Amino acid sequence: MPAYKLTCFGQSGNAFKPALYFALSGTEWEPAWINFFKGEHKDAAYTSKNDQAQVPILEHGDVTIAQSAVILDYLVGQIGQFGWSSEEERREIWKWVMWDNYSFTSMFAPYRFFANFVPEEKRDPGAMAFMDMRMKNALKTLESHMQGREWVALDRPTIADISIAGYCYYGDEVPFDFADYPAISAWKDRLAALPGFVPPYELMPTSA
């Protein structure tokens, strides 16, 4: 039985981040599907493991970890790939993982969620406009950063790329056109060409 168990569901780009780490590093892992759309992440059985009531969590032996960024950090420590080899590299990677969590995924994920999984009459137009504006600002920042670069933080792929990749491979569910962001598109293709890459709906279950 694989040592790593990741509670996830196919639609979750936050869960895709550690799942992608496993795929790219060739690490054996086991998905534990959670019925997020039925609200199972709020059940006591789940909140006893993660009182933040969010997906994903990683279970590894006696260790249970929430927050995809913390899980990625843990996996770097355990598996040793896509990490840093100096304090300076570590800071650069974390600068982008934090940016992803605060500025990119934080807008991209809920915008894509509402746009694809919530009926239009239940969407708040003001909130949608705000998320769209913030998401596009973040895309502008990333597009400009990626000019002339292959990878986000260092001269090789790291957990910064894996974190930012979270919601980028959901095809038609992505609420903007990657063609408007050529440097990001090239990076996205580069990441998808790495050995072991599998897109989210092929990597994680969408039902029991």
Residue 103, C-beta contacts closer than 8 angstroms, at least 6 positions apart: 134, 137, 138, 141
- Distances in Å between the Cα of 197 and the Cα atoms of 55, 188, 200, 202 are 21, 11, 10, 10
The answer to whether the Cα torsion of 147, 151, 154, 156 is positive or negative is negative
Least spacing, CB of residue 185 vs ligand GSH, in Å:
24
CB of 134 to ligand GSH, least distance (A): 16
Q: Which residue among 6, 20, 24, 55 contacts ligand GSH (CB under 6 A)?
A: 55
What is the smallest separation between the CB atom of 39 and ligand GSH, expressed in angstroms? 9
Is residue 39 packed enough to be buried (19+ CB in 10 Å), middle (13-18) or exposed (0-12)? Answer: exposed
Closest CB to ligand GSH among residues 144, 206: 206
Q: Which amino acid is at 95?
A: K
| 134/183 with CB nearer ligand GSH | 134
| Residue 7 interacts with ligand GSH (CB under 6 A): yes or no | no
Between CA 34 and CA 14, with CA 192 as vertex, the angle to 5 degrees is 30
Binding mask 95-134 for ligand GSH (x = CB under 6 A): ------x---------------------------------
Which C-beta is closer to ligand GSH: that of 33 or that of 186?
Answer: 33
Binding mask 63-102 for ligand GSH (x = CB under 6 A): ----xxx-------------------------------x-
Q: Which one, of 144, 67, 138, lies nearest residue 104 by Cα?
A: 138
**55 vs 121: CA distance, rounded Å:** 26
Q: Which of 7, 12, 22, 146 binds ligand GSH (CB under 6 A)?
A: 12
| Reduced DSSP (H G I as helix, E B as strand, rest coil) percent helix, strand, coil of the chain, to 5 | 60, 10, 35
Spatial contact of 28 and 57, defined as CB atoms under 8 Å apart: no
The residue from 31, 54, 107, 158 that contacts ligand GSH (CB under 6 A) is 54
In the complex, the smallest distance separating the C-beta of residue 207 from ligand GSH, rounded to whole angstroms, is 16
Residues that bind ligand GSH (CB under 6 A): 12, 14, 41, 53-56, 67-69, 101
